[in-house]
C-alpha cells in the first residue's frame, strides 16, 4: 500500500535559506532583507545607506522585482555591486533565487549584502531567504495603521523603519500611532525615522554596522514565535 507523504510547502525554501546563511557566515558576511510596500522608499533608503557607509562597509545589493532593472541601475550608479532578481510574476523572493544572485556578487569583497524584496507587505514576510536581519519599511504615505493590518511583516522584523519622514507635514500620518501598532506585535525591534536630511539615516547605518548576526537557532525561533 502506497502512503502519501505530505511536506510543508516551504521546507525546501527553509533548507536553501539555511545553506545560504552557512555560506555567508563562513565568509563573515551579513545579509539584510529589506521589505516594504511598493513605493515605500526602499531603494531610496538603500541609496542613502550606501553613502552613509562610504568605505566603512563594503556593500553589495540584490534587487528583487517582478520585472525591469530600474532599481538595480540606480544602485549600480553608486558603484555598488548589484544583481537584479526578477521573479516574473511571483510576489516575493525565495531562497533559491537569492542563492543564484549571490553567485553573481563578488562575495570575497563584501561585508554586508542588502536584498530589496518585491514591493508588498504580505508575501515577502513569509519566506526566509537566508538573511540575518529583517528591515520592515513603512512610509508616511501609506498610513499609520499598516502594522495592524499586516502584522506578520512587522512581527518578524529585526528593525522597523518609518521612511519619508521628511514629508510627514504633507500627510496625516501619526508616528505615535504607528509605533503603538508595531509594539503590539513586536516589543523589541528598534523603530527609526528616516528621510532626506534626517538623522535617522545615520542612526540606521550605525545600527546595521554594529549589529551582530543572529545564529540559526535564533532565526528559527523568531520565525516560530511569529507564525
Encode the chain in three state secondary structure.
Answer: CCCCCCCCCCHHHHHHHHHHHHHHHHCCCEEEEEEECCCCCHHHHHHHHHHHHCCCCCEEEEEEECCCCHHHHHHHCCCCCEEEEECCCCCCCCHHHHHHHHCCCCHHHCCEEEEECCCCCCHHHHCCCCCCEEEEEEECCCCCCHHHHCHHHHHCCCEEEEECHHHHHHCCCCHHHHHHHHHHHCCCCCEEECCCCCCHHHHHHHHHHHCCCCCHHHHHHHHHHCC
pLDDT band for position 89 (50/70/90)?
A: confident
Residue 205, classified by CB atoms within 10 Å of its CB into exposed (0-12), middle (13-18) or buried (19+), is buried
pLDDT of 41 over the 90 cut = yes
CATH number at residue 203: 3.40.50.300
Inside any domain, residue 150? yes
Lowest mean pLDDT among 53-62, 95-104, 113-122, 175-184: 53-62
- The total number of structural domains in the chain stands at 1
Inside any domain, residue 1? no
Inside any domain, residue 22? yes
User: Dmax over Cα atoms in the chain, in whole Å?
Assistant: 68
Triad 94, 154, 103: Cα angle to 5°? 25
Closest CA to 205 of 59, 64, 28: 59
Whole-number pLDDT of residue 97: 95
Whole-number pLDDT of residue 11: 85
Q: Quick one: CA dihedral 159, 160, 165, 169, positive or negative? A: negative
Inside any domain, residue 106? yes
Q: What percent of the chain has pLDDT over 90?
A: 82
Residue with cell 513603512: 138
Mean pLDDT of the chain: 91
CA distance 94 to 128: 7
Residue with cell 523568531: 222
pLDDT of 121 over the 60 cut = yes
pLDDT of 92 over the 70 cut = yes
Inside any domain, residue 2? no
Inside any domain, residue 47? yes
Whole-number pLDDT of residue 226: 62
The three cell numbers of residue 101 are 544572485
pLDDT, average across residues 49-53: 93
Inside any domain, residue 3? no
Q: What percent of the chain has pLDDT over 70?
A: 89
- Structural domain including 124 reads 11-225
pLDDT band for position 5 (50/70/90)?
A: low
Inside any domain, residue 5? no
Amino acid at each position: 500500500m502506497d502512503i502519501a507523504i505530505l511536506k510543508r510547502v516551504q521546507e525546501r525554501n527553509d533548507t536553501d535559506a539555511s545553506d545560504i546563511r552557512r555560506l555567508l557566515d563562513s565568509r563573515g558576511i551579513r545579509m539584510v532583507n529589506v521589505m516594504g510596500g511598493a513605493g515605500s522608499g526602499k531603494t531610496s533608503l538603500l541609496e542613502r545607506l550606501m553613502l552613509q557607509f562610504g568605505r566603512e562597509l563594503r556593500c553589495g545589493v540584490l534587487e528583487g522585482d517582478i520585472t525591469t532593472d530600474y532599481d538595480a541601475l540606480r544602485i549600480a550608479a553608486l558603484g555598488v555591486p548589484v544583481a537584479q532578481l526578477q521573479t516574473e510574476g511571483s510576489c516575493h523572493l525565495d531562497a533559491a533565487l537569492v542563492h543564484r544572485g549571490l553567485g553573481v556578487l563578488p562575495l570575497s569583497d563584501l561585508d554586508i549584502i542588502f536584498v530589496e524584496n518585491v514591493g508588498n507587505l504580505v508575501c515577502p514576510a513569509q519566506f526566509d531567504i537566508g538573511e540575518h536581519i529583517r528591515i520592515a519599511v513603512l512610509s508616511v504615505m501609506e498610513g499609520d495603521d499598516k502594522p495592524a493590518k499586516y502584522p506578520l511583516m512587522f512581527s518578524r522584523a529585526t528593525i522597523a523603519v518609518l521612511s519619508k519622514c521628511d514629508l510627514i507635514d504633507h500627510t496625516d500620518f501619526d508616528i505615535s500611532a504607528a509605533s503603538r501598532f508595531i509594539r503590539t506585535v513586536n516589543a523589541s525591534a528598534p523603530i527609526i525615522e528616516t528621510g532626506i536630511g534626517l538623522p535617522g539615516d545615520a542612526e540606521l547605518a550605525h545600527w546595521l554596522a554594529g549589529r551582530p548576526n543572529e545564529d540559526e537557532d535564533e532565526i528559527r525561533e523568531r520565525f516560530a514565535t511569529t507564525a
